[in-house]
Amino acid sequence: MVLTDVLDDDGEKVAAELAQAGHDAHYRRLDVADPASWEAARTAVDERFGKLDILVNNAGIIHETTIADEDLAAWTRLLSVNLTGVFLGLQTMLPLLKNGTNAAVVNTSSVYGPSGAIGYAAYGASKSGVLGLTRTAALEWADFGIRVNALLPGGVLGAMNEGEHSGGVLDETPLRRRAHVDELASAVAFLVSDDASFVTGTELVVDGGFRTR
């Protein structure tokens, strides 16, 4: 497996832990908003494995502001990572996915994609776009035997949302807590497994009941 990020220290640490546990794990730097960075990643995967069975597009950034106060540079940067990054990953890695065995893709969206949220215009727009990309890729790639699905997390414990205002998603989640990353990982593992062999173009919501409210 190949792990990618722009946080090199963290990436190297996780890859080392996986390798120590007996996995064939490698880390390489990848800026998902940069086409050249994706091309380099594809070359590295191709040279080492010659194919790609699983692609998880999970990179994301977030900021909170009203539409009236949104900064164009911040808007553009967020969309370049959260939405264009997924597009580039799909487009660049398709040749290797075609060579894969029962290849599967998971794109990380959010409950704010279909639901929306005050103060999250850029984030919600990017995650809505991920849903559209997921459905389209599932249609276009079905003849290749490549399944494409979206994961829709609710609130998650992690550094990305440490700055969320009080009264945020947690107060609107019936289970009254955030998800642990292991719970999301288990959902991804299902979507890429043979147990989900007839699942494509859909959304797996892991939100503690947020969308039922």
The pLDDT tens digits for 3-30 are 999 999 999 999 999 999 999 999 999 9
Stretch 79-87: mean pLDDT: 98
Q: So what's the pLDDT on residue 61?
A: 96
Q: For residue 103, what are its two tokens?
A: 């290849």
- In CATH, the number for domain 52-212 is 3.40.50.720
Read off φ and ψ for residue 194, nearest 5 degrees: -65, -20
- Look-up of token digits 């290749």: 144
Q: How many H-runs (helices) and E-runs (strands) does the chain carry?
A: 7, 6
Domain borders along the chain are 52-212
In the predicted structure, residue 162 carries a pLDDT above the cut 80: no
CA distance 213 to 206: 14
Single-letter residue type at 93: M
Q: Which of 27, 112, 120, 123 is catalytic?
A: 123
Res. 166: pLDDT tops 80: no
Instruction: Give the pLDDT score at 208.
Output: 85
pLDDT for 119 = 95
**pLDDT surpassing 90 at residue 126:** yes
CB atoms within 10 A of CB 196: 17
Q: Are 146 and 105 in contact (CB under 8 A)?
A: yes
Structure pTM? 0.92
pLDDT reported for residue 168: 63
**Please, which pLDDT band fits residue 163 given cuts at 50, 70 and 90?**
low
Per-residue tokens: 205: 């919501």
Mean pLDDT across the chain, nearest whole number? 93
Q: Is 123 annotated as catalytic? A: yes
pLDDT digits (tens, 9 = 90+) for 174-206: 888 888 999 999 999 999 999 999 999 999 999
Backbone angles phi, psi at 33, to 5 degrees: -85, 0
Q: Per-residue pLDDT tens for 127-145? A: 999 999 999 999 999 999 9
Single-letter code of the amino acid located at 34: D
